[in-house]
Structure 1
């Protein structure tokens, strides 16, 4: 699954990577949490756009649906229309996963690409309204079975779209289902971090600090 992620890349890097014209006021984020705003790449007939959206579709009981299982999104009422018509890319440069050590302890890991290269999750978006009746847009992140590299940490992982597949994922029409798969092991990197990241109050570079002297694995 994906319950926290980070985006610290500059606007210049994102503009070049995703071919978007917008230059919003985008501050670095080290610990993006559900219901918070972050940037999302969408596409319409005029081209690609960088939009600010809230993380989490509204669920039947009001709880945010922050992830959508790629295996069932096409038939789930909460996601099927978005999968068919409103796909997006969610820029990130890392995400966090919690490894169960025992019944009481979980170890957080920071996961990304070797060299810190930004990447993109496969996402869906929808139009909605907030509690005051004001329009807003929400997104969710698709997940799939974990690759062998991440399986020791969790059985699920976010769907990561390779740069050469951005156009296919954003293109109008039926979703490219072959993209809803586990990302290859080799480009990825991971290391342990402290439980500082557990709290949404912490959103600074301290969330990236390696625990002890653990090297990239």
Structure 2
């Protein structure tokens, strides 16, 4: 799954990557979490003849898709990810998969590996050569009983490639730039026409860097959460050594064993 990601490129860099004329200013975001607004790219109206830019526009959506048929979001799970293998058939995603496919620009994402001691080690997974990637996403507009509308979205995931598999068995789907237009074209391309894009990223695209658990807290939003952090290796103490140490504790000092 993908539970946190980052977008730290400038608006100009992001606009150039996504094929947009321009983007409003926005700050670098190092720790984007569920329910927060995320930048998405959707198909727009056809541009005037002679324009060399594709028909795309940027919108902000709430990360956590709410299908249009949901009556009360409080009684519905937070859908931040959608499994690509079943999205075209699953009730929560099939309408968006057919009509509202989007791109989600990102500088990378975070994932956690569970160790044998049941502890979690966080990793910052970023493009090995830097720059941006575009996650495959879905968008749905949910209408409140009062009439107001909320645009919501989810990230499509697939099985992890070799870059990520040692950390987690799932990863976001990455859409290559030469496939942006085809992915966004929901007028002429049905889910079966873009199914070939629902695959793990090319091996070698990402590198996974261990980071501290500061990323676990949504309040930590600075670039320091992406700094490499190699957790100290805890020495393995045998039962015999533990018993020996206990026997050698000076009088009046408590034993840790």
TM-score of the aligned structures, taking structure 1 as reference length: 0.92
* CA deviation string 1:68-121 (max 9, x = no partner): 000000110100010011000000001000001135300000001113211110
Query: Residues 143 and 156 of structure 1 are in contact (CA less than 8 Å); yes or no, is this contact kept in structure 2?
Result: yes
Please give the secondary structure, in 2, of the residue aligned with 1:104.
Answer: coil
CA distance in 2, matches of 1:212, 1:143: 27
More strand by share: 1
- Structure whose alpha-carbon radius of gyration is higher: 2
1:73 alignment partner in structure 2: 87
**Hey, which bits of structure 1, 4+ residues long, moved more than 3 A?**
129-133
**How far off is 1:3 after superposition?**
0.5
1:137 alignment partner in structure 2: 151
Which of 102, 117, 136 aligns to 2:131? It is 117
**How far off is 1:64 after superposition?**
1.4
Which of 131, 140, 146 aligns to 1:126? It is 140
CA distance in 1, matches of 2:120, 2:147: 39
Please give the secondary structure, in 2, of the residue aligned with 1:16.
Answer: helix
Task: Assess, with a 3 A threshold, how the Cα gap between structure 1 residues 107 and 83 changes in structure 2: closer, same or farther.
Answer: same
**How far off is 1:44 after superposition?**
2.8
Aligned residues: 214
Task: Assess, with a 3 A threshold, how the Cα gap between structure 1 residues 58 and 14 changes in structure 2: closer, same or farther.
Answer: same
**How far off is 1:207 after superposition?**
1.3
**How far off is 1:209 after superposition?**
1.1
2:58 alignment partner in structure 1: 50
**How far off is 1:148 after superposition?**
1.8
1:211 alignment partner in structure 2: 229
Which of 179, 183, 188 aligns to 1:169? It is 183
> Where does 1:8-157 land on structure 2 (aligned, <5 Å)?
8-46=8-46, 47-58=55-66, 61-129=75-143, 134-157=148-171
Task: Assess, with a 3 A threshold, how the Cα gap between structure 1 residues 132 and 211 changes in structure 2: closer, same or farther.
Answer: farther
Task: Assess, with a 3 A threshold, how the Cα gap between structure 1 residues 186 and 135 changes in structure 2: closer, same or farther.
Answer: same
**How far off is 1:62 after superposition?**
2.6
CA distance in 2, matches of 1:102, 1:132: 49
